[in-house]
Amino acid sequence: MKGEHFLVAFAFCILASSFASAYDPSPLQDFCVAINDTKSAGLNIPRNTGNQVGSNVTLLNVDQIAGLNTLGISLARIDYAPNGGLNPPHVHPRATEILLVLEGTLSVGFVTSNPDNRLIEKVLNPGDVFVIPLGLIHFQLNVAKTNAVAVAALSSQNPGVITIANAVFGSNPPINLDVLTKAFQLGKNEVKNLQKQFGGNNK
Amino acid sequence: MKGEHFLVAFAFCILASSFASAYDPSPLQDFCVAINDTKSAGLNIPRNTGNQVGSNVTLLNVDQIAGLNTLGISLARIDYAPNGGLNPPHVHPRATEILLVLEGTLSVGFVTSNPDNRLIEKVLNPGDVFVIPLGLIHFQLNVAKTNAVAVAALSSQNPGVITIANAVFGSNPPINLDVLTKAFQLGKNEVKNLQKQFGGNNK
Amino acid sequence: MKGEHFLVAFAFCILASSFASAYDPSPLQDFCVAINDTKSAGLNIPRNTGNQVGSNVTLLNVDQIAGLNTLGISLARIDYAPNGGLNPPHVHPRATEILLVLEGTLSVGFVTSNPDNRLIEKVLNPGDVFVIPLGLIHFQLNVAKTNAVAVAALSSQNPGVITIANAVFGSNPPINLDVLTKAFQLGKNEVKNLQKQFGGNNK
Amino acid sequence: MKGEHFLVAFAFCILASSFASAYDPSPLQDFCVAINDTKSAGLNIPRNTGNQVGSNVTLLNVDQIAGLNTLGISLARIDYAPNGGLNPPHVHPRATEILLVLEGTLSVGFVTSNPDNRLIEKVLNPGDVFVIPLGLIHFQLNVAKTNAVAVAALSSQNPGVITIANAVFGSNPPINLDVLTKAFQLGKNEVKNLQKQFGGNNK
Amino acid sequence: MKGEHFLVAFAFCILASSFASAYDPSPLQDFCVAINDTKSAGLNIPRNTGNQVGSNVTLLNVDQIAGLNTLGISLARIDYAPNGGLNPPHVHPRATEILLVLEGTLSVGFVTSNPDNRLIEKVLNPGDVFVIPLGLIHFQLNVAKTNAVAVAALSSQNPGVITIANAVFGSNPPINLDVLTKAFQLGKNEVKNLQKQFGGNNK
Amino acid sequence: MKGEHFLVAFAFCILASSFASAYDPSPLQDFCVAINDTKSAGLNIPRNTGNQVGSNVTLLNVDQIAGLNTLGISLARIDYAPNGGLNPPHVHPRATEILLVLEGTLSVGFVTSNPDNRLIEKVLNPGDVFVIPLGLIHFQLNVAKTNAVAVAALSSQNPGVITIANAVFGSNPPINLDVLTKAFQLGKNEVKNLQKQFGGNNK
């Protein structure tokens, strides 16, 4: 039943966007919703941070936000475990980010592009905000003994996330050993160990 | 002293953007900061809602967010008084908005464009989110007996705000009586009273 | 028969646009037409202005302009009754507008965003033009004893129109009384009367 | 005196745009005006068409439209002499165009890109409109015994115009003879004659 | 079999792009590929320049570059015959171009828009580059006794090409004789001869 | 002397761009050049690859390409040493890339975003091309016994480059040890060694 409604709504959205153009610098209708949202987004509920890095990112997708389609913005909640919960170095290939700390104390940073690779870093307390420019490598580290929570807004409806260590050492299939040993100036065994830890097993 | 640094930084930013183009679909440098931010944004601090509508919007500007320039996103905190605190009907001429409720219970809504003028409305609790499409009239009303707090992300570094009642009845100079009596189907005295309340005195 | 041609053309357009991207800052083909236009647009024919506000807007849509699709521009004719014909305060959520007066004398204006809400106003005679920036509230009033006619160009193929009074007091379903009484500083009965006039009946 | 005001306004506009970004898909303030417009645009006044092609294009620029800056749209009036007044084949490198006929009868056309080079042509009477896609070669010919007048809206504040014959045969300095003889399959003397007529004298 | 894969991939791409928006200033997914590329692009292979103008343009399309979809860039190889091989005057309606000479010596030029129609010209040797702004008329001429080869990158996945002489004198159906005689200041027979040469036969 | 011309040209460019808008989906003038280019770009000259990774990237900047400003495209030459010359894993935060192999044999690859982190890889010979989507991690490895040369076109006039290993382990100041040990699951000494090799010395 739900699927049926989806199909109808979906057909309408294709109709709307098939007449659209990348040249028009605005959405081409008020909004384009597939199914009406009834589930709560639940961004107030603490997430489980009992994993290797001690953090948990909840990115809201189109099933949870009515009207998200075609509008170029999205939202995430991030939970950090006490004493070093880490949102590890990553990039968003298609979005700038604003981070707002709701609870706890975070050390946040991003690295500028070549040749400077300057680290811009700041300690944030509740109510502080920080902007991460489009496509730059950034991270957040919980530097206090309590949980931390932040909200991030991103300037795309599908910003994408690339966790550096996972993409480099855990890709599927794995990246050639010669690339990684030379790029990171590591021995073959060191790279193989890293690949094992990140799930990219080189034969 | 501070002014001097500003001038230097400002000159650099002009240099960067004078080579920029509206055609390039991305920022033209990593970021462009005028002065380094040292004041806290303080978005955690409750604002005074003791005013006529019972709400208070704190929009973060370029003095408070390092790196906000050139990146097309901004952030606001909104406080609502208990029992009817209202962020009155308004539009953002240059941005889509995502609203996230942090505390309390809000009734939020927006109205679609002509000819339907359909009201899309929803009651939000902490952790719920809502998207307001570009340029549509919207509002939030505190429908509970406690304070409410929300965070809004907007898809422009300068989204603009037009509070409908203030722009229509409180503009400076005031809009011609003939326009308002005919548009709102009100008597001349009714319009004059409204203009008096919103500070636009028609002679 | 006509429907059949439509389907074929439509399939082609989907094909073209499904490969398109919002990132490409231009249309992705010369043009994308559904059905060839044979009806005249008839923008030279005076429209009936015998209605409550004394104006009539004829916005050209895709059935009347061959090649309108994907190209980000549209056109409208506006007729104004003598002695106060009014195009009431409204916004276009997705377009800037240029207005050109063809006949008669119009008082045109727009209101800037908060906090200034400055009214920029001008009397236009035939041959005069006026620009209304993206998303701002604007109106035109016929201030002479003769008919007036204007042409408006808009920077989107689907600019959208939101007539302020209709969206605020005539939405479907109607906006909560508490929102409107507080926002416009009116009594409940005054708001109910306005809602009745604009077709939004609050129970 | 006027110059002084210009300087002040100009400084303000630089300030506004230096913080702007090509990435932000909207203007960054309500508007950005250099000098207030007091001269009438006078688009109602017939222009002199007593020239070689029998047409006259009046493009409105920033001195004549308050608020044109930063808003991506412009407007032109075109007058055509009776019996063959011609707006000769040209392209707008940065804009789509909508043409609206106000008086007379025009044959209008554009040619699609390679390999089809299909001519899309139509005879327009008062009230008819026609869309010319971005960057395509187009023209209008007065095919009646009376004057003709049209209004064109363009999707850029500086659309640019390239009259094909003038750019090809009248450039300064002139294009190499070898290029033109081979491209147009003409003899050297024929090309030299064309260049003489269009003011590009090849030595 | 291949067709079947295509259908599945195609359906996925529609799904992705139907939710896309022209307002989002970036692609909406990493990439959108229909079929995986296995044929070589073969841009290293000299092309046959034994035609009337003595040049040959190989534009890579979506069948030859995996991942080209939605990413706003394309590439071409151009071969020029010795002693006057010509890429004749043309425009790209939807792209800026960078040209890099790999072999030989080219005289390249473009003409600015009205009213200046200034010719910007330069002789390029291997390793030299030249930029042609969006929508301007440009050409390349081999001015040496050897073959020449260049690579051109264009800022759109479908830049379009309009060869001036072919579009003006070889359109289908042909452009009205009155337009071309007046625009190019040629006699009727001269225009008819040109149309015959370019395949546009006026009856 | 040269500086003086620069200043004049620069003032003109500011003038042009101060009136520009991010909303206008095209450049606002034909082009905007600071100084006329007289030096050869020299992209035909092999570069020295005698460094740690065995590759050398020559990105053309505004001093070398007349007319590059405001047009959203750029070009690079990349040289690779025989037997493993590597352009190490990096991202362009503001551009899609097309790579064309001129000489030699390269293994090229990019990794998709989370959660798949799929490696898309291909061996390219002269004349082959490959597209790297906006913001994804990618690399090229010379897998033959001869030199290799490639040309890359990028969809921004300032695409930016972030070499992953340098940004992560060689930033200035260095990234906190806790971030890197946890993100890469390495010991403190291993991270310190990496930082030493990439010039980011942690105290």
Sheet with E119-124: strands ordered across: E119-124, E106-111, E137-142, E86-91, E162-163
Residues B159-178 have a mean pLDDT of 96
**Measured between alpha carbons, how far is C153 from B29 in angstroms, rounded to an integer?**
35
pLDDT band for position E4 (50/70/90)?
A: very low
Min CA distance, D143 vs chain C (Å)?
Answer: 18
Can you give the pLDDT at residue F39? 52
DSSP secondary structure letters along B171-182: -BSPP-HHHHHH
- Predicted pLDDT of residue C69: 53
C27, E94: Cβ pair inside 8 Å?
yes
* Residue E88, both tokens: 């004749």
Residue E27 has pLDDT above 70, yes or no: no
pLDDT at A68: 55
Give the Cα separation of C138 and C166 in Å (integer). 15
Annotated binding site for oxalate: which residue ranges of B?
87, 92, 97
Is F25's pLDDT higher than 90?
A: no
Chain E residue numbers touching A13 (CB-CB < 8 A): 18-19
CB contact under 8 A, D72 and F25: yes
The predicted structure's pLDDT at residue E72: 74
pLDDT of residue E31: 65
The CA-atom distances, in angstroms, between A24 and each of C68, C74, F28 are 12, 11, 16
Calculate how close chain D gets to B12, using CA atoms only, in Å: 10
pLDDT averaged over every residue in chain F? 80
Nearest residue in E to B26, CA atom? E25
SS3 of A15, please? helix
Using DSSP, state whether E33 is helix, strand or coil.
coil
Q: What's the average model confidence in pLDDT over D175-185?
A: 96
Q: Average pLDDT over chain A, rounded to whole?
A: 80
The per-residue pLDDT for range F91-110, each reduced to its tens digit, is 999 888 999 999 999 999 99
Contact yes or no for F131 and E31 at CB 8 A: yes
For residues D36 and A112, the model is more confident at A112
Q: How far apart are CA A185 and CA F53, in angstroms?
A: 9
Is the Cβ pair E20, A71 closer than 8 Å?
A: no
Calculate how close chain F gets to C155, using CA atoms only, in Å.
Answer: 10
- 3-state DSSP call for residue A161? coil
* Interface mutation vs chain D, best among C96, C112, C117, most D CBs within 10 Å: C96
Rounded to an integer, the average pLDDT of F23-43 is 55
Q: Which one of C38, C128, C137, C138 makes the best mutation probe of the D interface by having the most chain D beta carbons within 10 Å?
A: C128
Strand B162-163 and strand B129-132: the pairing is unpaired
| Contact check, Cβ <8 Å, B127/A45 | yes
What pLDDT, on the 0 to 100 scale, is given for residue C60?
83
Which neighbouring-strand residues pair with C107? C123, C141
Report how far apart, in Å, the C-alpha atoms of B101 and of each of B77, D201, E73 are: 10, 72, 41
Largest pairwise CA distance in chain D: 57
Residue in chain D nearest F157 by alpha carbon: D22
Chain E CB contacts of C24 below 8 Å: 70-72, 156-157
User: pLDDT-derived band of residue D73, with 50, 70 and 90 as boundaries?
Assistant: confident
Which strand ranges, in their side-by-side order, compose the sheet holding D74-80? D55-59, D74-80, D148-154, D97-103, D129-132
Phi, psi of B122 (to 5 degrees): -160, 145
Return the residue of C nearest to F95 by Cα: C23
- In chain E, what are the domains? 37-160 (2.60.120.10), 161-203 (no CATH)
Which of A166-170, B14-18, B178-182, D61-65 shows the lowest per-residue confidence on average (mean pLDDT)? B14-18
Neighboring chain E residues of F43 at a CB cutoff of 8 Å: 100, 127-129
CB atoms within 10 A of CB F173: 13
What is the mean predicted confidence (pLDDT) over D111-119?
94
Mean pLDDT value of segment C120-146: 94
Cβ pair B72:E23 closer than 8 A:
no
**Element spanning B153, H or E:** strand B148-154
Query: Quick one: pLDDT at residue F98?
Result: 92
Of F30 and F58, which is predicted with more confidence? F58
What's the burial of A177, exposed, middle or buried (CB within 10 Å: 0-12/13-18/19+)? middle
Which tokens in the block code for residue C121?
A: 């106003």
Which of B5-14, D189-198, E156-165 has the lowest average pLDDT? Answer: B5-14
Per-residue model confidence as pLDDT tens digits over F143-156: 999 999 999 999 88
Q: Do E156 and C28 touch (CB under 8 A)?
A: yes
The confidence band for A69, taking pLDDT boundaries of 50, 70 and 90, is low
Q: What percent of chain F has pLDDT over 90?
A: 62
Q: How confident is the model at residue A83 (pLDDT cuts 50, 70, 90)?
A: very high
Question: Mean pLDDT score of chain E, rounded to an integer?
Answer: 80
Q: Does C63 have pLDDT greater than 80?
A: no
> What is the reported pLDDT for D45?
93
- C117 contacts in B (CB within 8 Å)? 162, 166-167, 170-172
* R_g of chain F computed on alpha carbons: 20
What's the mean pLDDT when you consider all of chain D?
80
Where does residue A160 fall: left (phi above 0), alpha (psi -120 to 50 degrees), or beta otherwise? left
pLDDT category at E162 given cuts 50, 70, 90 is very high
Distances (CA, A) of D31 to B94, C13, D40: 12, 36, 20
Nearest to C18 among E17, E27, E72 (CB): E17
Strands F97-103 and F148-154: antiparallel
Residue B62 has pLDDT above 90, yes or no: no
Q: What is the mean pLDDT of chain B?
A: 80
Residue A142 corresponds to which tokens in the numbers above?
A: 């919980």
User: Beta strand pairing status for C55-59 and C74-80?
Assistant: antiparallel
In the predicted structure, residue F18 carries a pLDDT above the cut 60 = no
Q: Are E140 and E108 in contact (CB under 8 A)?
A: yes
Query: Rounded distance, CA E140 to CA E117, Å?
Result: 17
Per-residue model confidence (pLDDT) at position A148: 98
- Judged by DSSP in three states, D59 sits in strand
pLDDT band at B22 (very low <50, low <70, confident <90, very high): very low
Position D72 scores a pLDDT of 74
> Per the CB < 8 Å rule, is D21 touching B71?
yes
Which of residues F177 and C3 earns the better pLDDT score? Answer: F177
- pLDDT tops 90 at residue E174: yes
Over 60: is that where the pLDDT of D163 sits?
yes
In chain D, residues with a C-beta closer than 8 Å to the C-beta of E190 are: 190
**The pLDDT of residue F35 is above 70:** no
What is the percent of chain D with per-residue pLDDT over 70, rounded to a whole number? 73
Band (pLDDT 50/70/90 cuts) for residue C161 is very high
State the CB neighbour count (10 A cutoff) for residue F11.
11
Q: Does D26 score more than 70 pLDDT?
A: no
pLDDT of A66 reads 52
On whether D87 is known to bind a ligand per the annotation, the reply is yes
Highest average pLDDT, of C130-134, D194-198, F11-15, comes from: D194-198
Is residue A12 predicted with pLDDT exceeding 50?
no
Distance in Å from the first CA to the final CA of chain A: 47
Set of chain E residues whose Cβ sits within 8 Å of the Cβ of B23:
96, 134
pLDDT of residue E7: 29
DSSP, res F118: B
**Between chains, do F194 and A182 touch, taking CB under 8 Å as contact?**
no
Q: Between residues B19 and F197, which one has the greater pLDDT?
A: F197
CB contact under 8 A, E19 and A25: no
What's the complex ipTM? Answer: 0.85
Chain-chain contact of E95 with C19 (C-beta, under 8 angstroms):
no
Helix (H, G, I), strand (E, B) or coil at D97: strand
Substitution target from F10, F158, F171 for chain B, most B beta carbons within 10 A: F158
Which has the higher per-residue pLDDT, A2 or B104? B104
> Would the pLDDT of B73 be above 90?
no
pLDDT band, residue A42 (cuts 50/70/90): confident
In chain D, which residue's Cα lies nearest the Cα of C95?
A: D71
